[in-house]
Amino acid sequence: MSNSELNSPSRSLRSSISDIDTPATNRSVLFDQNFNDVWRPDPDFILVVGGLGYIGSHTCLELLKAGHNILIVDNLSNSFRTVYERISTLATKYHDKRSQPTPLMRLCEADYRDETAIREILSQYVKPASLHDGDTEGSPMQSSIKGVIHFAAYKSVSESISNPLKYYANNVAGMIEFCSVLSNFNIKTFVFSSSATVYGTTANSGVPLREEHCTHQTESFIDHDGATRTTEGGCSGLTNPYGRSKWMCESILSDLALADPEWTILALRYFNPVGCDESGLLGEDPKGIPTNLMPVVVRVMMGVSESLNVFGTDYPTPDGTAVRDFIHVTDLACGHVAALSSASAGRVPKGFRTYNLGSGTGSSVYEVVRALEAVSSTKIPLRKEPRREGDVGSCVAMPRRAEIELGWKTQKSLETCCKDIMNFLDHQKRESVLA
């Protein structure tokens, strides 16, 4: 059977958790006190929390393509269960084409803040004590989960301004408790979904942003003008609670890595992910009203909204509109695979390290609109509005650190992003006709 065939009905772990698995991953024997005598090692897994969302789903697909077994934990608050089936279909097709076995994929419906649920899930991946390295009493717990990617944060700038406590409770407090549970299970390789918003108003400096422009410990570096500079841990001009929550999380993770050197934590600072998987089966399809530029533009193209509100046309940029560093979501997903691979291979040191994931090239709102108009042959009506609270005029990455240390760089253009979005929309239209 293929990895896309799911057991039905789903096996219930507890009232708030449901688990989807392939038949091949279920044990056929129920073990009691003789468990260790006949136990065989389970394969290693990557745990992906929030793995059915926009970035999470594309990352799960790229992890499967790279040969990783994955365990997805998602509460489906902003995603759909059908995304799981689409990931499985695409991964199976990819590996079947290469005559390779498809890696395992499992789904547990749970909130990452539910400590009881997370403990119950993680306990299923604990290796029996008698098989730990050294087999000595008191040796650290060993898990089949070899790394974690955290996508389970809320991400709307505007919503964070109107409802800050929601963001601090989920993004900050939730992550603290989650890391505490991971530590109890000795799972200490962690990839954190951060954001370029941590740079605050430093983004308006007019130069590409380096990781050293926002640090959590004292760092020295050679700047773009050749001068040696030292930065103290801290932030400058954070403009919204979402950005503050990301900066707080980074600071906490930096402190955690200093306190416990067994942790390897990579914080990936996203710039502006856009586009869809080239298959057209995965894309940005949130349950609520989108706030990111691309899905908002798409709603206008589809007639759901009358026009695109352009917030700010008087920024000190070439055409007056905000400039952002747009990165194809598949490139971003591959950045997570590169981060995990570098961590597991020891190519990055233990401790806390930040990486910009961007293209290094900025595009204005008007340029994005023109690119979509060219691909779709559709005129997009615009309406000029005042600057939006919490926004900055420009935000462009210097991605050199990721290129050198992770062996990663973007491959896809803004035009490709637009073409893939149109392909996703075409698939949605065909599916709605067949429904």
Q: Which residues are catalytic?
A: 242
3-state DSSP assignment of residue 20: strand
3-state DSSP assignment of residue 264: strand
Do residues 270 and 332 touch, judged by C-beta distance below 8 A? yes
Angle at 358 between CA 89 and CA 416, to 5 degrees: 55
Cα dist from 367 to 317, 319, 324, 394, 399, whole Å: 12, 9, 10, 14, 22
3-state DSSP assignment of residue 352: strand
Burial 38-51 (b: 16+ CB within 10 A, else e): eeeebeebbbbbbb
Do residues 110 and 10 touch, judged by C-beta distance below 8 A? no
Burial 374-393 (b: 16+ CB within 10 A, else e): ebbeeebebeeeeebebbbb
DSSP annotation of 68: -
Long-range contacts of 298-304 (CB under 8 A, 24+ apart): 298/421, 298/425, 300/380, 300/381, 301/372, 301/376, 301/378, 301/380, 301/425, 302/425
* Cis peptide leading into residue 208 (ω within 30°): no
Q: What are phi and psi of 108, to 5 degrees?
A: -120, 120
